[in-house]
Structure 1
């Protein structure tokens, strides 16, 4: 082989090697070092508890979550399922259900088990368990609730007795309140359909109440997204002066985009 051919072969070899190294670096740059848990602000009750956790993990390489445990809540079991699929990652849903009553309290970390390496305690945000079933001494019979993938949802019920509805509030933290808007409606005397009402408002027995709510998009610059499951509380006063409290957990579904996932992976690579 003459000098020119050797030089050409060398250049080709360098280009091939550079391309291979570039592909490897690009692939690795799109991978998480380990599964990434979202931030959570979850409310639940000691009885009939459901707790949802969400996390990202690589599709093919590296650590995979095999089990999740909150040590202070030993009766809580998690089922792991794929929620969304992306180019290099899977967005996973850990559906938690309690086999017996949970201990009231606030819980901020979970023990995560992997397919390789030892288990690890991971921060998950705040899971708050309140005593009871969460239905309070309400004035309403709740009979319907629902939510959509666009962040909209509702809860509705019918008044058991004449009441003055005084307040609607949620347990969501103050810094997150702009993410949730809601409106109370009722079927008032003489009205054939639900109409918005201003509180306080006297509402007769048998009238329907409905709270429509809407979750708004989180700021991508805020970092790891937050998963919510807050109480919606309706406070009213019966005709005998007794305060009535209706509490219902409202839905929240977190869906990520490919761009959000890439940003999260990049953020974790360069914390």
Structure 2
């Protein structure tokens, strides 16, 4: 009598374990593959460039092979690459760039806000996919800018989502301010500091606020850092800020020097489980 009871109990435990594994695996799956939310700034010419990140379950066979946007006919994407492998998901990266042979002549129209792209998949399907918001500054092309009043001295960035850029003036100029589309959205999650020379101080030391008149051969140093908390909604988003330092020459002409500040999430297994839970909640 005891043996049948033991066998039945063992079978029950095996069935319960099997059912639990099915539930766990199902709860670990994204309801649908898709792009992360991107908040990106980019110039149109000559360096239109940004990355799009696509998250899919590991067993998904359908993958993006190409994307395009009618608003940006010169936009092209390189072949998709694996950005990060996790236990149940894979994050892919598509890198966008500009084909200069397709660039049309333009003269400083308003910035373009791109919120979706047409995506071509390897199974032959085509879908319009939401990607967040990409702001493209469609500056004049071909460029007719005069010799700039500043030149890059040094720049760098690290894996800690921090970076810097130093520029040196070549002529008298006034630094009017620094701006970016996404400063307000990020709030305290992004910090930057501008160090200016002031009378009696060595170049690069902290000086007076903006606007600031500068002499030739002085250095302006900009430092930045993303402070996005783990587990926040922003931690699963992609950012590229163009920190636009606006310099004004004595004749009133403005020149913008751009510093790139990039943030792309690198998920832990725990963070990806949280992302999956949120996507499943939204799909219900």
Query: Under a length normalisation based on structure 1, what TM-score does the superposition of the two structures give?
Result: 0.85
- SS of the residue aligned with 2:133? strand
Q: Distance in 1 between matches of 2:89 and 2:183?
A: 30
- SS of the residue aligned with 1:196? coil
**Structure with the greater relative contact order (CA < 8 A, sep ≥ 6): 1 or 2?**
1
Q: 1:196 to 1:84 in 2, by over 3 A?
A: farther
Q: 1:164 to 1:45 in 2, by over 3 A?
A: closer
The answer to whether 1:126 aligns with 2:126 is: no
Q: 1:80 to 1:133 in 2, by over 3 A?
A: farther
Q: 1:263 to 1:53 in 2, by over 3 A?
A: same
**How far 1:174 sits from its partner (Å)?**
2.2
Corresponding residue for residue 99 of structure 2: 99
Q: Note the alpha carbon deviations across 1:176-219, whole angstroms, 9 max, x for none.
A: 23222111123556544521232222221111211111111146
The answer to whether 1:81 aligns with 2:92 is: no
Corresponding residue for residue 257 of structure 1: 268
Q: Distance in 1 between matches of 2:215 and 2:17?
A: 74
**How far 1:125 sits from its partner (Å)?**
0.8
CA contact (8 A) 1:162 1:203 kept: yes
Q: Distance in 2 between matches of 1:178 and 1:128?
A: 21
Question: Please, which runs of 5 or more residues in structure 2 have no aligned partner?
Answer: none
The answer to whether 1:25 aligns with 2:23 is: yes
Q: 1:265 to 1:127 in 2, by over 3 A?
A: same
Q: 1:183 aligns with which of 182, 193, 196?
A: 193
- The runs of 4+ residues in structure 1 deviating greater than 6 Å are 133-137
CA RMSD of aligned residues (A): 2.7
Corresponding residue for residue 202 of structure 1: 213
Corresponding residue for residue 90 of structure 1: 90
CA contact (8 A) 2:81 2:93 kept: yes
Query: Under a length normalisation based on structure 2, what TM-score does the superposition of the two structures give?
Result: 0.82
CA contact (8 A) 1:106 1:129 kept: yes
Question: Please, which runs of 5 or more residues in structure 1 have no aligned partner?
Answer: none
Q: How many residues align?
A: 267
Corresponding residue for residue 233 of structure 1: 244
CA contact (8 A) 1:155 1:212 kept: yes
**How far 1:14 sits from its partner (Å)?**
1.7
